[in-house]
Each structure stands twice: as C-alpha cells, then as structure tokens.
Amino acid sequence: MIEIVDAARCTGCNICVRACPTNVFDIVPGSPPRIARQGDCQTCFMCELYCPEDALFVAPQVAPAPPGGFDDGPLLGNYRRAVGWGRERQSTASQDASYELLTRTH
C-alpha cells in the first residue's frame, strides 16, 4: 500500500492525484498531496511510475504498515529505474525477454 509521500522530494505537481486509478490522494494547496484513502490503494505501483521526482513509496504489502518508519531511502524510485522511465532513460520494454520464457512454458 501507498505509505510515503516524501515532502523533501515532492514538488506539488499533483500528477499522482490524477494518475492513481483508485483516487487515493487529495490535493492540499501549497503542500504535497495527502494520502486520503489509503484503504482504497490496490498496491499497483502506478503512482510511483508517474512521479517525476521519485517522491512516492508503495510498500509491497496489501495491508497497511504498522506504525514506525521505513528504511525507504535506497528504494525510492527503483521501480521507475527498472522500467526505464524518467529523463535520459530508455524504456526497458525493448529488453522484454518474455518471448524466451513463453516459448519454454508450452
């Protein structure tokens, strides 16, 4: 589930508010968006991909995290890097080796 909107990285562009398919965020004028409906988060990680600043962190668990911090520093933005989205990166869809695996499952 979505757990972190990193205030230090967030520029308030609110792209995540639009991109989230389950409408989890609310716009807060002059501040980073608020995680207003965490329970509706479907843990699809799409908000991370659409955040140009790598300011979001979706924990992999489908249940909310217990109170207490995350050691989130090294993980922010790692999914975006893996798919090759962002400035001066190239989509890794061109390296998709699914065809190698699919021919071995039949």
Partner 1 sequence: MTDNAGKNQRPPVTAADGAVQYEADVLVIGGGPAGAWAAISAAANGARVVLADKGFCGTSGATAPAGTALWYVPPDEDARDRAKASRFTLGGELAEPAWMDRVLEQTWTNAQQLAEWGYPFPIDESGEQRRTSLQGPEYMRLMRKRVREAKVRILDHSPALELLVDEQGAVAGAAGVDRQADETWVVRAGAVVIATGGCAFLSNALGCNVLTGDGQLMAAEVGAALSGMEFSNAYGLGPAFSSVTKSLFYKWATFYYQDGSAIPGAGSAQGRGVIARTLQSQPVLACLDRADEQIQAWMRTAQPNFFLPFDRLGIDPFKQHFPVTLRLEGTVRGTGGLHLVDQTCATSVEGLYAAGDAATRELICGGFTGGGSHNAAWAMSSGFWAGAGAAGYARSRGRAGLRGRLLRAGGAGLRDTGGSAPYDSDAVIRSVQQEVFPTQRNWTRQADLLDDSLARLDALWHRVRGAAPARSALAAVRAREAAAMLATSRWMYRSAQQRTETRGMHRRHEHAALDPAQRHRLLSGGLDEVWIDRLALSSATVRTEGVTT
List the x/- string, 32-71, binding to partner 1 by CB under 8 A: --------x-xxxxx--xx--------xxxxx--------
Which is nearer to partner 1, 28 or 79 (by Cβ)?
Answer: 79
52 alpha carbon, distance to own chain's centre: 10
| Position 89 contacts partner 1 (CB under 8 A) | no
Say how many C-beta atoms besides its own lie within 10 A of residue 80's C-beta: 19
- Piece of 5-13, 28-36, 84-92 that binds partner 1 (CB under 8 A): 84-92
* Cα(62)–Cα(52) distance, integer angstroms: 24
* Cα(4)–Cα(72) distance, integer angstroms: 9
In the chain, the amino acid numbered 3 is E
Binding footprint of partner 1 on the chain (CB under 8 A): 17-23, 40, 42-46, 49-50, 59-63, 75, 78-79, 82-83, 85, 91-102, 104-106
